[in-house]
Amino acid sequence: MRVFRSLSVSGIMTLLYPRMLAVHDLSSDVGFLDPKGRLKLPAFMRASYAYMVAEGAYLLCKSCKSGEDVT
Reported as a single tens digit per residue, the pLDDT across 32-61 is 999 999 988 888 888 888 888 999 999 887
Q: Tell me, yes or no, whether 66 lies in a domain.
A: no
Handedness of CA 29, 34, 71, 62 (dihedral sign): negative
Q: Kindly report the pTM of this predicted structure.
A: 0.60
Reported as a single tens digit per residue, the pLDDT across 6-25 is 888 887 887 788 888 888 88
- Number of independent structural domains in the chain: 1
Q: Tell me, yes or no, whether 67 lies in a domain.
A: no
43: β partners = none
Q: Tell me, yes or no, whether 50 lies in a domain.
A: yes
H helices of the chain, where? 2-6, 9-16
Residue 20: give the domain boundaries: 2-61
Q: Tell me, yes or no, whether 71 lies in a domain.
A: no
pLDDT of residue 70: 40
CB-based contact 5:13 (threshold 8 Å): no
When comparing pLDDT for 56 and 71, which is higher? Answer: 56
- Average pLDDT on 23-33 reads 87
CB-based contact 47:17 (threshold 8 Å): yes
Q: Tell me, yes or no, whether 47 lies in a domain.
A: yes
Q: Tell me, yes or no, whether 53 lies in a domain.
A: yes
